[in-house]
Amino acid sequence: MELEIPVNIGDYLPKYLSAESFSTLLEELKAFPTDGTKNTVYTSLLQEQKILFQGDGLAKLPYYDSQTQTVLKDKPGIILSNTCDMDAQDKKRLEDIHICFAPLFRLSKYQERLSKQYDTKRIYQHIESIKKQKISHIFYLPKGGDLDYEAIVPLDRICYVNNSFVDRENLNSCRLFTLSDYGNYLFLLKMSIHFTRIREKVDRSIGIIINS
């Protein structure tokens, strides 16, 4: 499913942004269909913050591979959980909310694996669709920050860790990147499309499946 930027996207952007930030984000989103996903999806301005942000890339997370039933201890991943839910200083909750994340895979290795099953033309078209964010369950990330390779995020392979697993005092040593306003909004759109789109064409109240 193609990522479409609504014409009235400005109505849905965060109202807490400064006028300059709002204008920049709006222009970047409007340019997305032609410009694609560039390294402007990252920001370096939050690098020193000891806060774990939604969309942060971390270098070492314990990813559980259900196919092989093994744990890969040092797998890079991207944080899916909401920033405020991961607030380590929030003492109001009786129990911490776990941190949900999805793994980061090298695009080159993914492409290499596909080459064993499919022809070159089909793979090229698929990779182009990934880079244009047209594949609903895959989020594409270009090189940027401390991420020195193109990566994909399979949103259908989610894991979690305890909130205390990520040491906030040493985030700089393991954080690969933080998404900019633009990058975070693209990320939210992709997660919304994958997890919450209401297009199943099922009328649950009367038990009817609507044909296409």
pLDDT tens digits, residue range 35-66? 556 788 899 988 889 999 999 999 999 998 88
What pLDDT is stored for residue 212 in this prediction? 57
What pLDDT is stored for residue 35 in this prediction? 52
Q: Which pLDDT band, with edges at 50, 70 and 90, does 210 fall under?
A: confident
Q: Which pLDDT band, with edges at 50, 70 and 90, does 98 fall under?
A: very high
The verdict on residue 45 lying in a domain is: yes
pTM above 0.75, yes or no: yes
Q: Which two tokens stand for residue 62?
A: 């314990």
Amino acid identity, residue 59?
Answer: A
The verdict on residue 98 lying in a domain is: yes
**Which of 90-94, 120-124, 146-150 shows the lowest per-residue confidence on average (mean pLDDT)?**
90-94
Residue with tokens 């930027």: 5
The verdict on residue 210 lying in a domain is: no
The verdict on residue 18 lying in a domain is: yes
Find all residues with CB under 8 Å of 102, minimum gap 6, and list them.
77, 78, 80, 153, 154, 155, 157, 158, 159
d(C-alpha 64, C-alpha 102), whole Å: 10
d(C-alpha 120, C-alpha 49), whole Å: 44
In the chain, how many domains are there? 1
The verdict on residue 203 lying in a domain is: no
The verdict on residue 204 lying in a domain is: no
Angstrom CA distances, 6 to 13, 94, 144, 197, 209, stand at 11, 40, 27, 15, 28
- Whether 91 has a pLDDT exceeding 80, the answer reads no
What pLDDT is stored for residue 206 in this prediction? 78
The verdict on residue 202 lying in a domain is: no
Q: Which domain holds residue 144?
A: 9-197
Q: Which pLDDT band, with edges at 50, 70 and 90, does 90 fall under?
A: low
The verdict on residue 171 lying in a domain is: yes
